[in-house]
Structure 1
């Protein structure tokens, strides 16, 4: 098993590495061939880097004379360079709050993007029409970002803030992301002009739609299971996935008129394989229907609670004696000399041995 696990991890690492490189090519092509020539701004930190680079190019464009070379501010504060430096604080946050492996591949995606934006800067733009540049740049960038997300890597920027916020508070960063992009569009109107700001809004919308069409792991699905073995199915699903299940008894099949039970639950598209494995192990002959879920209200994730009971040596000896004396093995001693019966994580009654 260890050999198989190592092989799987090696394959995942190569997939993530190739996804990071593919994303860097896509964002470099989108910026150099479409967005920059058309005066269109991207979303997120990439758009902020574009905005700052445009401000430097328009109002702070001068050269710095050094002993052996002359550097211009447009070279020092290019979009690729600013993209990297704007992500540095987010790398530190991800390293502390998310994980080292995640941060490593995110860092690779951003550093590859910085390099490829500069390397592919020699590409000749096909057109400078802002509508065409906005649409095709959004499609190319959306392909790269969606492919990266499918391979479980982040492209940096607001994504890192979203993951940290979701881990610590359970809330999403959707509102922050929308407000951030609105500010980029607003300032783009002052830096360029308002028609180009509207083209940027169109590009951001198309980029998001292309991303969503590729990255489907977060989509919610409603599952209906008709089974003659409800207990086995429920146990298998709850052991492999943290999901609540609604049970409807007294259903009947129309062909053999056998008694059936209907189970309802919600899963994400990423859990499709886990559900198939759970059904294969518990009831391979069950009828399973899976449909898209438009909206979910209530508890989506049902975490199993595990009770940890700590005993002192004296209480442990008392517990051992009580367990031998009592037939009911789901009872636990209390300091008052009673036994607490626990069933399904709820206190049922106290009884004295």
Structure 2
């Protein structure tokens, strides 16, 4: 099963499907919400939109295509050729569909429009980033920094856009800039959530006088492994065994029931984990 999932994650069909679907989701809200409200979407497409507003030169889709050329050179040099071709597919899908799709989503309130745009655009962007490519543009830089320095993709996106909107204050009304900032802040959160939703888990620590019995019950009923960590109590200096296990949200309540049914004096500690890789969990992504 794990090998099948790995093969699917690296298959051309799966990656192209994610890229095309995610790109179309982004274009729907770019044309349906951002364009009617004149939002600056952020990233290189935001720069393309700003150039179009100020100069009326070409249109955002074609300007975006031109600005992506140096980004793809960086992607080829610092990531991989496969990453370059998948990112090129995303960029071409956005550029071409932006010319074809003509839709307006009837949201009149600017705040509501900013929230809706950010949430849906971030979802589409996150879907593309779950592939072995990117959305092109500033996302190429985000992937490079994430691979080299573990800098969050959503954080880079928001930082890049803050610089862009600081420049926009010289050309656009403050209300429009603030609405655009709200939109990209929500988009950054949606991107991070979309990227982490399948790799986020719970890590539980269990301190009990019956660690082996609990471990056997968990392995028998939940079909998952546990790790026994040797520990020493600080007050009495007694040797103890701490159980550690990584599980999903669905299994958490069942684990709690097993622990306290076995030992009602056990100490049960749960922490959020945001990136669990390896073993039976998500595999490390290789671009």
Matched, 1:249 2:248: no
Q: Give the 3 Å change call, closer, same or farther, for CA 201–97 of structure 1 in structure 2.
A: same
Partner of 1:69: none
Q: Deviations over 1:15-43 (max 9, x none)?
A: 21111111221121111111111011112
Greater radius of gyration (CA): 1
More helix by percentage: 2
Q: Give the 3 Å change call, closer, same or farther, for CA 29–183 of structure 1 in structure 2.
A: same
Deviation at residue 117 of structure 1 after TM alignment:
0.7
Which sections of structure 1, spanning at least 5 residues, go unmatched? 58-72, 230-244, 252-258, 273-287, 295-299, 302-353
Classify the secondary structure of the residue corresponding to 1:191.
Answer: coil
Matched, 1:109 2:90: yes
Inter-partner Cα distance in structure 2 for 1:133 and 1:101: 36
Deviation at residue 130 of structure 1 after TM alignment:
2.9
Q: Deviations over 1:263-301 (max 9, x none)?
A: 558x898xx9xxxxxxxxxxxxxxx9753159xxxxx99
Q: Give the 3 Å change call, closer, same or farther, for CA 200–104 of structure 1 in structure 2.
A: same
Matched, 1:126 2:125: no
Matched, 1:50 2:30: no
Classify the secondary structure of the residue corresponding to 1:247.
Answer: strand
Alignment of 1:183-198 (within 5 A): 183-198=163-178
Inter-partner Cα distance in structure 1 for 2:229 and 2:5: 40
Partner of 1:136: 116
Inter-partner Cα distance in structure 2 for 1:215 and 1:160: 16
Partner of 1:149: 129
Q: Give the 3 Å change call, closer, same or farther, for CA 171–112 of structure 1 in structure 2.
A: closer
Matched, 1:85 2:66: yes
Matched, 1:39 2:38: yes
Q: Give the 3 Å change call, closer, same or farther, for CA 109–214 of structure 1 in structure 2.
A: same
Deviation at residue 179 of structure 1 after TM alignment:
3.9
Q: Deviations over 1:177-229 (max 9, x none)?
A: 44421222223333231111111111112212322332215757534367649
Partner of 2:271: 291
Alignment coverage as a number of residue pairs = 236
Which sections of structure 2, spanning at least 5 residues, go unmatched? 214-226, 234-238, 252-267, 278-287
Inter-partner Cα distance in structure 2 for 1:212 and 1:176: 11
- Which of 195-204 and 165-174 deviates more? 165-174
Structure showing greater relative contact order (alpha-carbon pairs closer than 8 Å, 6 or more residues apart): 2
Classify the secondary structure of the residue corresponding to 2:170.
Answer: helix
> If the length of structure 2 is used for normalisation, what is the TM-score?
0.67
Matched, 1:210 2:190: yes
